[in-house]
Structure 1
């Protein structure tokens, strides 16, 4: 990112000043100030440049960089501005110039292709869960946010532990109509169609990310699966589908989810590990990009609220399957 503030002229002498503004795991932003002068004239600020350098080891693999402690006032300002520029680059790469917007991400829903869609919905979540090159981006209140950039795609996951049995956690989280009790991004959630015991169609309404803007709505297929044996997790997979009965409306912008969902692992009879995955799309990224860039930690408060919701309802019979009541 370069800002040309003024010209340099023949005969000018240039002074270049460089400083590390911030470090981000494997990279750092270096700010450069270019000043010009001639003879005894005062210095003229003619250019500001902000460059990101990735640091590699002898095997050309990214090195882990130490966190920097900014100096007061100007150092702190440069530190925060570097974080803001990181978010701008993230938005440009995955929202503004994203090729995903060229074709619809949703697939048509029809009872005749229900089995195929459910299978692919669950398989996509399993593929994200199987990846092992996630990078820890942020941790707060024992809630961890990871990212993964691969093949021009950005995925993120949020991980935490709760003192609630895995099966009860599974039943509580698989009812999306209750998600608005802990997730402020779920303003409304209605069941459109209960396809079968494990597959449900929902319409979800989310608030606008900009003041005065329109909110988004999503038509989601939720496919839940219990573990086949003790080595498997409980799964709740989500993806967008299209329904002729629920076309886009003028009141909301239609958003799309390519692949998202929860894996729920039983670590003991009372401790459960929950991981939420999302293969970020232009409709989803505005809600999380400030967290990924380090400008906020709303993911932590959201999933802390999820933990409180689960613990408050861990003895609720309403969460259990109807056959068990």
Structure 2
């Protein structure tokens, strides 16, 4: 199918800025280098009446649960701030109520994703917690939680943290197959779409740590440290036993996940205090993963130790085991987590910490793993947590951030696809061109129906080495690195276009995903990365793409008059680019 396409590239200009170049070419609609395929839903502006109920009331997600709590002295720590353990209890309770509202039966906490605490909450302030189910899979569901604090006297509000929890529905000791979520608003569509990628990242998290540790050398960070103050790791070890009583359990007799997390935060704080001899502040928590339940009458053994101390932060590892009788030889592993603490001075600035000396054997292993997790945590916070406009067009690539770059690559495309304010610019022979203009970005999107099976289109479009066969904007493609089954890095060379004296080259990360559930698209996402092995050269002008790719939706057995064959697929090209990016 040949159509006039508007092709767009973001190209570097002198002074560190970028200019937007647009031209028209006659080329197959599915072949544009600068194409990104977005979601299947219509790109016409969503009517606001869709976000209101039939009776005129404002739309509210049926799974949404809100909780407001006044922080009293009994909820605070020695600094007069809300205890993170108490906050985790409230978060878990609110999320569980949301999950049970969707499932219609009891639910248990399976995991809690990483949490970064942006602000502390003081006595007298109000904590507002909102939770809703983002997406339901087969027997598990992702619940999104937002926490904010409020000063009722000044009416000021602060964002405290965001959390993502996974819950599993149980009825009579068996798992329950969940009904699917039907997102309505742009926010709900975005969270629903990206939830599948987050679930994938959770499943590969353990392998990510193992792969990184395989290439991680034992290093002692002595730079900028007072080596006269060394604390043996064994001096920070803490062990505590808790008896699970009825107030600690839910209506099924299982210990509340939030209660276990609160006990874990308590022993971790004690371990951190033994290193710094001060009152530490919890800044981040690595993923909680519950490996099994505990019931009323169980004894929970909680162990904590400082794994590693960096310049201004320390990692504390916590492990929870359960047993029923004192004579019981085998203890059940319930949970493990890693918490990051800092020590703040009177101006709320982090203080320098003493160096920790790991014990031989397991202590050195924990020390190395803590260094690896810190590197991953910093990469993840930079890549996943920061706003899209704060990221450079080309992100550095290395093995420690590959999982999160892939996640960001896919999720950026899905979030762009989920926006509901695309404007239809033109439509010819059932091929629609849509545009979306934000403060710094201009995006193009095309929508068409083609007579190709979605799986076949996915295989063709995901292998960039075959692109020159049918796309004249790809002169040569070299596979630089096959990262894994779903991710690869390519070096792409395009021909000379217009009056430009040099051809462009691109270093592209291509990430592909098959549908997670029925109704999901096949996704191929492209973005620029930087590699030391492929620097800029005088021979080419280095081009960059911020967000591009393809989403291919299977149309099933739908019949159309233009395509009288079975199993067509809907392909929708979209491009995000920078009309002009002011140099910092």
TM-score normalised by structure 1 residue count = 0.54
Q: Name the counterpart of 2:553.
A: 265
Unaligned stretches of 5+ in structure 2? 1-7, 9-16, 22-387, 558-566
Do structure 1's residue 181 and structure 2's residue 105 form an aligned pair? no
Give the Cα–Cα distance (whole angstroms) in 1 for the partners of residues 462 and 407 of structure 2. 17
Give the Cα–Cα distance (whole angstroms) in 1 for the partners of residues 473 and 481 of structure 2. 22
Unaligned stretches of 5+ in structure 1? 1-86, 88-92, 284-325
Do structure 1's residue 167 and structure 2's residue 448 form an aligned pair? no
Q: Name the counterpart of 1:216.
A: 504
Q: Shift of the alpha carbon at 1:163?
A: 1.2
Deviations 1:77-128 (A, max 9, x none): xxxxxxxxxx9xxxxx98269xx99984100111111001000000000011
Query: CA 1:101 to 1:149, structure 2 compared with 1: closer, same or farther past 3 Å?
Result: closer
Q: Name the counterpart of 2:523.
A: 235
- Written as runs of structure 1 = structure 2, the 5 A alignment for 1:148-159 is 148-159=436-447
Q: Secondary structure at the match of 2:572?
A: strand
Q: Shift of the alpha carbon at 1:212?
A: 5.4
Q: Name the counterpart of 1:110.
A: 398
Q: Do the aligned residues in 1 keep the contact of 2:440 with 2:578 (CA within 8 Å)?
A: no
Deviations 1:287-312 (A, max 9, x none): xxxxxxxxxxxxxxxxxxxxxxxxxx
Equivalent of residue 144 in structure 1, options 432, 453, 457? 432
Q: Shift of the alpha carbon at 1:228?
A: 0.6
Q: Do the aligned residues in 1 keep the contact of 2:20 with 2:577 (CA within 8 Å)?
A: no
Give the Cα–Cα distance (whole angstroms) in 2 for the partners of residues 255 and 212 of structure 1. 13
Give the Cα–Cα distance (whole angstroms) in 2 for the partners of residues 103 and 122 of structure 1. 15
Query: CA 1:198 to 1:128, structure 2 compared with 1: closer, same or farther past 3 Å?
Result: same
Q: Do the aligned residues in 2 keep the contact of 1:215 with 1:252 (CA within 8 Å)?
A: yes
Q: Name the counterpart of 2:573.
A: 276
Q: Shift of the alpha carbon at 1:255?
A: 0.7
Equivalent of residue 124 in structure 1, options 398, 412, 419? 412
Do structure 1's residue 95 and structure 2's residue 19 form an aligned pair? yes
Q: Secondary structure at the match of 1:221?
A: strand
Q: Do the aligned residues in 1 keep the contact of 2:489 with 2:508 (CA within 8 Å)?
A: yes
Q: Secondary structure at the match of 1:95?
A: strand
Q: Name the counterpart of 2:304.
A: none
Deviations 1:257-303 (A, max 9, x none): 111010110011511001122112469xxxxxxxxxxxxxxxxxxxx
Give the Cα–Cα distance (whole angstroms) in 1 for the partners of residues 502 and 401 of structure 2. 32
Q: Do the aligned residues in 2 keep the contact of 1:257 with 1:281 (CA within 8 Å)?
A: no
Q: Shift of the alpha carbon at 1:171?
A: 0.7
Q: Secondary structure at the match of 2:484?
A: coil
TM-score normalised by structure 2 residue count = 0.31
Deviates more, 1:232-241 or 1:199-208: 199-208
Q: Do the aligned residues in 1 keep the contact of 2:468 with 2:477 (CA within 8 Å)?
A: yes
Give the Cα–Cα distance (whole angstroms) in 2 for the partners of residues 102 and 235 of structure 1. 24
Q: Name the counterpart of 1:225.
A: 513
Tell me the number of residue pairs that the alignment of Structure 1 and Structure 2 aligns: 191
Give the Cα–Cα distance (whole angstroms) in 2 for the partners of residues 242 and 136 of structure 1. 35
Cα RMSD, aligned residues only: 2.9
Give the Cα–Cα distance (whole angstroms) in 2 for the partners of residues 212 and 231 of structure 1. 43
Deviations 1:165-189 (A, max 9, x none): 1111111110111122222211111
Give the Cα–Cα distance (whole angstroms) in 1 for the partners of residues 579 and 398 of structure 2. 26
Larger radius of gyration: 2
Q: Secondary structure at the match of 1:204?
A: strand
Query: CA 1:199 to 1:146, structure 2 compared with 1: closer, same or farther past 3 Å?
Result: same
Q: Do the aligned residues in 1 keep the contact of 2:522 with 2:551 (CA within 8 Å)?
A: yes
